[in-house]
Amino acid sequence: MAQSTGDPTRLSVAEVSRAIAAGSLSPVALTEAYLDRITALDGELHSYVLVLRDEALAAARDAEREIGAGRSRGPLHGIPIGLKDIYKTRGIRTTAGSRVYLDHVPDEDAQSWVRLRDAGAILLGKQETHEFAIGGPDFTLPFPPARNPWNTEHYPAGSSSGTAAAVGAHLCAAGMGSDTGGSIRGPAAYCGIVGLKPTYGRVSRRGVFPLSYSLDHCGPLTRTVEDCALMMQALAGHDPQDPASADMPVPDYAAALAKRLDGVRVGVIRHWHERDAVAGFGADSAPSPTYVAAFDAGCRALESLGARLVDLQLSPLVDYADATRVILLAEAYALHERDFRERPHLFGRHMFARIGLGAFLSAADYVEAVRQRRELCVETARALAGVDVVVSASATGPAPRIDAVATYATFERASYTAPYNLTGLPALAIPIGFESGLPLAFQIAGKPFDETGVLRAGFAFEQASEFRLTQPPIAASLPGR
């Protein structure tokens, strides 16, 4: 296969896919380029907990032979990706970021990884996660927490922290995260990339360590919206062995992308960040002036693309947060109760302190939260009936320093992502600007199973802006960058 000039890790999944199909780029050369970057940079980023160099190169050689013989499996064939280390991989250590599973080698593969592998994706390695997808940046665990590629003194958010950092720093072409209260979209926002939480039931969760059965979602982290659509094409589909999986038709996600939004009705939820954040969580949750300006500019950009904007009013943000917290903690504690009782010393301090709160909840608390969830789902569905997609805030300021993230920060500050876990709606985090050299983002959410509408709006916005073209400093730190 002919080799292209330049650094292929600069290219998106869609771009390298076209280059591989044209014969101007080899999957082996691409995989080697990513492995070289991991070697050079991950000692500073800590985004990987396990790098599968030999296995990745063997898979790349297989992909090159298949593609060269005219047996391409599609746009992901030969594309190197990473998996958050809660995705089980047969014969490959999967730790969930915890001493409890430090030497755990599964005998099964997560179904979402099976779908990606069958589409031709190459696994570079397993990526750092907060302990059991909730533990926070804990420096007492065997694996150091991942760092933000825009400034390594800052937090990449979590719990899909390693995956977001690796995608942002070009240490993989794309990756898989999980999202229970915002763990795909939060890291995407802080790391300046794109993250999609699909509709509940759209992507199989079988073979992925659970946190909260009724709130967990699996989804992709990518550098562009188009890449997200390509990943979703392989990921989406019914899995009869996942009780929550929905048997719904899978559309052509990439075909739905367009650069205009003429006639698209966009609901804008402003009160969550303009009023509710401070009212429900205190002054520390107030958005920065720079964020408010970036959010408003993003909305104007959607309008300039032909969208019709409508202000939406929903219940206060704290109502969504309260129900989400109770459900998450109750379900998470039920999952881990035996280990909490029998070997509590194996847990990190953040994980133990956060999940331990679930021990103090009653059945009545849980039932009341589920009842409130149902009411909020009905209200949200009615509000969305008159629009195609909605826009709301994400993290309303730049990433904090990693050493300033408190144990209970995830519960004490406003969560703009949790409402879409509670309601199960698809939601996309996408960059909208910068503050102090760190990325800012907002969310585009949609109706159940309308990932196409969400991706279309995100793609049009992305194409009209230049935020995706800005590289984090670490991405330019190697010779020739």
Confidence class for position 106, pLDDT limits 50, 70, 90: very high
Exposure of 278 by Cβ count < 10 A (0-12 exposed, 13-18 middle, 19+ buried)?
middle
- What number is the average pLDDT over the span 379-404? 96
> Which domain does 382 fall in, by range?
19-476
Q: What is the pLDDT of residues 50-85, one digit of tens each?
A: 999 999 999 999 999 999 999 999 999 999 999 999
Supply the pTM of this predicted model. 0.97
Q: Residue 438: phi, psi to the nearest 5? A: -120, 145
Catalytic residues, by residue number, are 84, 159, 183
Read off the CATH number of the domain in which 135 is found: 3.90.1300.10
Tally of structural domains, the chain: 1
- Domain assignment present for residue 13? The answer is no
Confidence class for position 412, pLDDT limits 50, 70, 90: confident
Percent of the chain with pLDDT over 70: 98
Structure confidence at residue 1 (pLDDT): 47
Q: What is the pLDDT of residues 413-430, one digit of tens each?
A: 899 999 999 999 999 999
Confidence class for position 478, pLDDT limits 50, 70, 90: low
- Domain assignment present for residue 4? The answer is no
Which range among 172-176, 283-287, 475-479 shows the weakest confidence by mean pLDDT?
Answer: 475-479
| Average pLDDT of the chain, as a whole number | 96
d(CA 349, CA 194): 30
- Domain assignment present for residue 9? The answer is no
Q: Is the pLDDT of residue 373 over 70?
A: yes
Structure confidence at residue 240 (pLDDT): 98
Q: Is the pLDDT of residue 477 over 70?
A: no
- Domain assignment present for residue 6? The answer is no
- Domain assignment present for residue 2? The answer is no
- Domain assignment present for residue 12? The answer is no
Confidence class for position 475, pLDDT limits 50, 70, 90: confident
Q: Residue 383 in 3-state DSSP?
A: helix
> Alpha helix (H) ranges present in 274-316?
277-281, 289-304
Q: Residue 148: phi, psi to the nearest 5? A: -75, 125
Structure confidence at residue 444 (pLDDT): 98
Residue pair 133/217 in contact by the 8 Å Cβ criterion: no
d(CA 168, CA 216): 23
Helix (H) or strand (E) holding 40: helix 27-45
Q: Residue 406 in 3-state DSSP?
A: coil
Q: Residue 310 in 3-state DSSP?
A: strand
- Domain assignment present for residue 333? The answer is yes
Residue pair 145/17 in contact by the 8 Å Cβ criterion: no
Structure confidence at residue 463 (pLDDT): 97
- Domain assignment present for residue 315? The answer is yes
